[in-house]
Amino acid sequence: MSDIVEEIRSAYVAVGIRLDHPATYGTYYRLLCAGCGRMVGNVGDKLLPGMAAALVDQQFDLYAAGLVGCACGHQQERTRALDAGRWEAARQRYASAGGTA
């Protein structure tokens, strides 16, 4: 496994997303909810060094507010456990944007 794939795997583990085996012909990986196993997206293995962690961190608020992540709510739970203050602020911000987070 390449260093980048390992970076991607570690970055997503933190928010409750598991990297599946490479999909068709390699290069692309399915992202699975670590809570229920449902596919929540995909990612390729040519991100630049450091990019995976930065992208997942930038999406923290989206996971917290339920705008991104599995319908089962696992990523919302994980982000709450990681940083309850940031989680609450994100949910309030997106709720005021017209959502129902």
Partner 1 sequence: MSDTRTSEMHVIAEAEQRGRTDLWPFWRRAYAQGDPLPKLTCAVNRPAYRFDEDEPLPEEYKTLLLRMLRHEGERAGNKSFLGLMASCLDLAETIFPTAEAKLLKAEYLAEELKHGIMFHRLAVGLDRSFALLDVPYAHYAFHLPRETWADDAMFHFFVDLNGAFHSRDWRESSYVPLQKMAATVERDELGHSEMGYYFLQQICADARGRALAQHLLGKWYPAALDMFGRSDSPNVPKFIQWGLKSVGNAEIRHAYKQYVDGKIAALGLEVPDERQNRRFL
Binding interface with partner 1 (CB under 8 A):
23-28, 30-31, 38-48, 51, 55, 58-59, 61-62, 67-69, 94, 97-100
Distance CA 49, CA 30 (A): 20
Strands 39-44 and 28-33: antiparallel
CB of 82 vs partner 1, minimal distance in Å: 17
CB of 81 vs partner 1, minimal distance in Å: 19
CB of 80 vs partner 1, minimal distance in Å: 18
Distance CA 20, CA 37 (A): 10
